[in-house]
């Protein structure tokens, strides 16, 4: 008994193999629903002006070398660092910057869309243990 492999249904419909069907793309967007009341960005590239918006909002210190370096200093300690290329491309690898900022996709989308403030971002880092919680003085 020989088994025949069923053809790819997308190929039968005229789609090239490897492309997304409209319903699949729509499902991916709705699966990325944020609790912030809007759909998260699912793109893997961000624009340079979005990077600069985040740097300015968080008050990061910047330095121009062969890359644009940005670091967040909190209580005299560098907490996170990120970088972007100064090349000609107007798009940046979003996932790398998000990982360097130590946040998930939903929080990153909130930073870009101005729904997450600097104080909320510092609280996120404190909850993750990246920033140490302030020690409470005991009054004796």
User: pLDDT tens for residues 49-58?
Assistant: 999 999 999 9
Is 80 a member of any domain? yes
Which structural domain range is residue 70 located in?
A: 48-130
Mean pLDDT of 22-35: 43
Q: pTM value?
A: 0.62
pLDDT band at 42 (very low <50, low <70, confident <90, very high): very low
DSSP H or E run through 107: helix 105-112
Is there a contact between 105 and 32 (Cβ–Cβ < 8 Å)?
yes
Check residues 107 and 39 and name the one with the higher pLDDT: 107
Is 75 a member of any domain? yes
If one counts the domains in the chain, the total is 1
Measured N-to-C along each axis, helices 48-58 and 105-112 cross at an angle, to the nearest 10 degrees, of 90
DSSP H or E run through 99: helix 94-100
Mean pLDDT of 72-85: 92
pLDDT reported for residue 14: 56
Is 126 a member of any domain? yes
Is 61 a member of any domain? yes
Mean pLDDT of 3-27: 51
Is 43 a member of any domain? no
Is 139 a member of any domain? no
Mean pLDDT computed over every residue of the chain? 77
85-94 exposure pattern, b = at least 16 Cβ within 10 A, e = fewer: eeeeeeebeb
Is 54 a member of any domain? yes
Mean pLDDT of 54-68: 93
pLDDT band at 38 (very low <50, low <70, confident <90, very high): very low
Rounded CA separation 61/81 (Å): 9
Mean pLDDT of 68-93: 90
Is 97 a member of any domain? yes
């Amino acid at each position: 008994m020989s088994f025949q492999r069923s053809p790819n249904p997308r190929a039968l419909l005229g789609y090239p193999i490897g492309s997304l069907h409209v319903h699949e793309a729509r499902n991916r967007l709705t699966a990325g629903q944020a609790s912030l009341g809007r759909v998260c960005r699912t793109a893997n590239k961000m624009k340079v002006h979005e990077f600069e918006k985040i740097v300015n909002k968080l008050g990061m210190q910047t330095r121009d070398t062969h890359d644009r370096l940005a670091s967040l200093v909190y209580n005299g300690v560098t907490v996170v660092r990120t970088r972007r290329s100064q090349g000609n491309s107007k798009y940046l690898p979003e996932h790398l910057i998000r990982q360097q900022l130590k946040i998930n996709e939903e929080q990153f989308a909130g930073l870009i869309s101005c729904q997450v403030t600097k104080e909320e971002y510092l609280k996120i880092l404190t909850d993750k243990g990246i920033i140490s919680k302030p020690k409470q003085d005991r009054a004796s």
